[in-house]
Structure 1
Amino acid sequence: MNCNKIMRSLTWLRAKSLRINLRSLSTQTTMKSMDSTPTMEEEKENLKYPRKIFSGIQPTGQLHLGNYLGAVQKWTQLQNSGDDVTYCIVDMHSITIPQNPAVLRENIFEMAATMLACGLDPQKSTIFVQSSVQEHTELGWILSCLCTMPRLGHLPQYKEKSRTVKDVPLGLYVYPVLQAADIMLYKATHVPVGEDQLQHIQLTQHLSRIFNTKFGQTFPICHAMIDNHDAARIRSLRNPAKKMSKSDLDTKATINIRDAPEVIVEKIKKAVTDFTSDVTYEPEARPGVSNLVVIHSMVSGTPIEKVVEEARAIDTGRYKLRVAEAVVEHLKPIRLAIDEHLAQKNDLIHLLESGAERARQVAQQNIVEVKEKMGLGIYRNVPQYIDMSAELLNALPKDKKKPKASDKETETPIVPKQKLRVEKKSAPQNLAPTFKLDESLASPPSPSVAKKAQ
């Protein structure tokens, strides 16, 4: 009798497990197919929006060679395309894990200096710090009210990062929504990202569709600009099976662009290859050597085929020294430029504040449009920076005739002006936080920098 009960229990558990697995598989399949590239109808709507490029980078530690070759170097090319490009130091994303305030602030300055040293031009690109434009978090909250927990729970990066954190903060769970807000706030049509961020772009597309369906056409359905070039996949020097990462515990696995020349040489000499001495490019069979070939090709501007041809007469040991020499030579002017920018922090502050002001003008206009469509706030007195259509202006409630002070039958009491606690203002105040200039850091912005910011 007991054996029969046990067998029935085991059968029930197996069936329940099978149902759970099938449900999980079905959910994953739906997640993959729910959002992809914009449909033809969405593409037609996208044509109504000007082409805008947005991308962000966290100020956590130094920029490494993979970031530089796979992202920032491409940004410098995009800014010369004539498109509207915006690059953001996403400092609020970095606090999803504990940060030392002093270190975080220095990392923001270092990232800004690095971006400028790598070739980003404030005259061609809008460069700013995320927390300086408060509309990012405002739209982030609005979008979080449109997003579901199951949708966020299936994102792989949350699962990976939460394994290393004892007490998982809510911000780590919902930060993809803030990432979507970063993109949608500027109505970006194209977003340069790596393959590991593709599902976050799909979430942005999903939230754009939800908002457009509920409240009317407002946002374009953005495109993910994924670089299929080998530089987008610079591998770890110690484990070429994974990408180069600033979070790698092995310090010899990553080349930071501010590393001293002798440090770079030592790291490349210790790079994992194989027992074959020839230099070939075979990413599948010889990932370690192939990674060095890609790095050499990118920093020297030489095609991979030519790099391999020129290295036929030497073994991998001597080739590592050749790669190290090329990397040191390429990064030397960047390293010197970073030091120069960091020595003039007031100039950095001036440029970042100018970029934040440009970004804020766009963000304020778009967030007011979002809130007006959702019924949030009161828009009798429309801010001056909003271009309102005649139809919408006619739909707004009209001011009624003001009652006279002597009219005793009026239901609205007349409050003397001197008793009013809140002053009437002609335009909304800008309460966005700004950096404070520290006169002890450096001299005031140089005329050339001030001219650039204008």
Structure 2
Amino acid sequence: MAIERIVSGMRPTGNLHLGHYNGVLKNWVSLQHEAESLFFVADWHALTTHYDDPGIIEKNVWDMVVDWLAAGIDPALATIFIQSKVPEHAELHTLLSMITPLGWLERVPTYKDQQEKLTSKDLSTYGFLGYPLLQSADILIYKATQVPVGEDQVPHIEFTREVARRFNHLYGKEVGYEEKAEDAIKKLGSKKGQLYRELKTVYQEEGDDQALEAAQALIEEQQNLSLGDKERLLGFLEGGGKMILVEPEYKLTPASKMIGLDGQKMSKSYNNTISLREEPKEVEKKIRTMPTDPARIRRNDPGNPDNCPVWKLHDVYSSEKTKDWVKIGCKEAGIGCVECKQPVIESVLKELKPMQERASNYTESPDLVKSVVAEGCEKARKLARDTMREVREVMGIDFS
């Protein structure tokens, strides 16, 4: 049974906004308490679409990491690192490209979608075609068991599982595999070896998942087995070969209800955001000037909250009691739009205040941010090196 490990990344887009916080970061903050977590800055992925404007990437990286830390990502709980600082990602991507059918890449849904949306860019590059495979390498190199994604990213995880399955099928059957697995069973001792065989039979003949979990736990508990023997027994248990790359599961991220100041999705490209480090006065000004229900031209005109972007913010930030007050007050013209916006302003400022206090500690000490990332890169690279040693060995290119 693989160690529970969560891996997720984000392209460096600079300062983050409330859409990022409610859509991704709040979830990451929660997940870091549930399992070993690695969060990385996907700077190579940024180059797949911004290869002609690299000057913005470095500043964006550091701004984004500060916002992660401000949002509550804790370096004591999670590993924060930069993708390009762990070159093993690129090595695994290259090796996986040797076995990945071209058709698999061309059928990834976002490939054509992005090409249609970003018509101003020439995306007929190998880097853009191959970015789902680089994404797979980002995940597989850490043997991630869970990857938090939105629904639109589920096909990427299914693709990653296919790549891992193909790799294990091609390279998991080492010479003398079954003999080595039998030798590993003997190392368990007679009682545990017999238990392993019984659980293996029950799982393979009856598909009993409890038997599978019990056998996996039995293997993981053994201190006298090498990592290679454990992986042989895990693969033998499921009737396959040696499990080298772990097939990750997707972990659906709760859909963000956060909308922008104009009622559209919050996005820098729409210029409708509130950044996590926005000055309180600017936050207040932005919300106060938000458009409301166009039917409410005068203070005494009744309105409909469903036609008002501010109502969607109430949906995220207000209590049921406040929402009831807004509904009645709007429909009966009992409150004005300025009054309606005030609870949202207060709630947003309350949410941002601790983040901004944490951010100031890091902006005043940039060396501290770099230290956090350097330590994270070192931890990540150690895990990546361990995986690459196994990958090179089974692919016949381990010349050490």
Task: State TM-score, norm by structure 2.
Answer: 0.72
In the alignment, what sits opposite 1:320?
341
Matched, 1:93 2:10: no
8 Å contact 1:295–1:323 — kept in the other structure?
A: no
Q: Secondary structure at the match of 1:221?
A: coil
> How big is the shift at 1:328?
2.2
Compute the RMSD of aligned alpha carbons: 2.3
List gaps (5 residues or longer) in structure 2.
Answer: 173-242, 297-301, 330-334
Stretch moving more, 328-337 or 218-227: 328-337
8 Å contact 1:279–1:289 — kept in the other structure?
A: no
8 Å contact 1:371–1:377 — kept in the other structure?
A: yes
In the alignment, what sits opposite 2:323?
308
In the alignment, what sits opposite 2:247?
221
Q: Secondary structure at the match of 2:244?
A: coil
Change (3 A) 1:290 1:197: farther
> How big is the shift at 1:331?
1.1
In the alignment, what sits opposite 1:238?
262
Change (3 A) 1:180 1:320: same
Change (3 A) 1:350 1:318: same
1:345-360 matched pairs, under 5 angstroms? 345-360=366-381
Deviations 1:283-310 (A, max 9, x none): xx6583552123314xxxx4xx344124
Q: Whose helix proportion is higher, 1 or 2?
A: 2
Q: Distance in 2 between matches of 1:137 and 1:327?
A: 40
Stretch moving more, 347-356 or 287-296: 287-296
Query: Which one of 171, 174, 178 corresponds to residue 134 of structure 2?
Result: 178
Q: Distance in 1 between matches of 2:76 and 2:151?
A: 30
Aligned residues: 314
Q: Secondary structure at the match of 2:100?
A: coil
In the alignment, what sits opposite 1:390?
none
Change (3 A) 1:202 1:158: same
Q: Secondary structure at the match of 1:59?
A: coil
In the alignment, what sits opposite 2:283?
264
8 Å contact 2:150–2:254 — kept in the other structure?
A: no
> How big is the shift at 1:127?
0.9
Q: Distance in 1 between matches of 2:97 and 2:65?
A: 29
Structure number with the bigger relative contact order (C-alpha 8 A, sep ≥ 6) is 2
Query: Which one of 310, 329, 335 corresponds to residue 356 of structure 2?
Result: 335
In the alignment, what sits opposite 1:113?
66
Q: Secondary structure at the match of 1:377?
A: coil
Query: Which one of 21, 25, 28 corresponds to residue 68 of structure 1?
Result: 21
Deviations 1:393-427 (A, max 9, x none): xxxxxxxxxxxxxxxxxxxxxxxxxxxxxxxxxxx
Change (3 A) 1:148 1:257: same
> How big is the shift at 1:162?
2.2
Q: Secondary structure at the match of 1:75?
A: helix
> How big is the shift at 1:378?
1.7
8 Å contact 2:23–2:254 — kept in the other structure?
A: no
In the alignment, what sits opposite 1:167?
122
8 Å contact 1:110–1:338 — kept in the other structure?
A: no
In the alignment, what sits opposite 2:175?
none
Deviations 1:116-161 (A, max 9, x none): 1111111111111111111111111122222233222233322233
What amino acid maps onto 1:328 in structure 2?
Answer: L
Task: State TM-score, norm by structure 1.
Answer: 0.64
Stretch moving more, 62-71 or 339-348: 339-348
1:23-422 matched pairs, under 5 angstroms? 48-81=1-34, 83-96=35-48, 97-98=50-51, 100-163=53-116, 164=118, 165-168=120-123, 169-216=125-172, 217-229=243-255, 232-240=256-264, 243-246=265-268, 248=269, 250-251=270-271, 253-274=272-293, 275=295, 286=307, 288-297=309-318, 302=319, 305-311=320-326, 312-313=328-329, 314-379=335-400
Q: Secondary structure at the match of 2:355?
A: helix
8 Å contact 2:47–2:54 — kept in the other structure?
A: no
Q: Distance in 1 between matches of 2:99 and 2:153?
A: 21
8 Å contact 1:244–1:254 — kept in the other structure?
A: yes
Deviations 1:336-368 (A, max 9, x none): 432331221211111111111111111000111
> How big is the shift at 1:335?
2.4
What amino acid maps onto 2:88 in structure 1?
Answer: E
What amino acid maps onto 2:43 in structure 1?
Answer: D
Deviations 1:147-180 (A, max 9, x none): 2332222333222332324422321221111111
Q: Distance in 1 between matches of 2:321 and 2:154?
A: 32
8 Å contact 2:81–2:380 — kept in the other structure?
A: yes
Change (3 A) 1:290 1:191: farther
What amino acid maps onto 1:138 in structure 2?
Answer: E
What amino acid maps onto 1:58 in structure 2?
Answer: R
Q: Distance in 1 between matches of 2:365 and 2:9?
A: 23
List gaps (5 residues or longer) in structure 1.
Answer: 1-47, 380-454
8 Å contact 2:257–2:316 — kept in the other structure?
A: no
Q: Distance in 2 between matches of 1:157 and 1:239?
A: 25
Change (3 A) 1:207 1:306: farther
Q: Distance in 2 between matches of 1:159 and 1:319?
A: 42
Larger radius of gyration: 1
In the alignment, what sits opposite 1:410?
none
8 Å contact 2:81–2:376 — kept in the other structure?
A: yes
Q: Distance in 1 between matches of 2:29 and 2:131?
A: 27
Q: Distance in 1 between matches of 2:342 and 2:374?
A: 43
Q: Distance in 1 between matches of 2:36 and 2:277?
A: 30
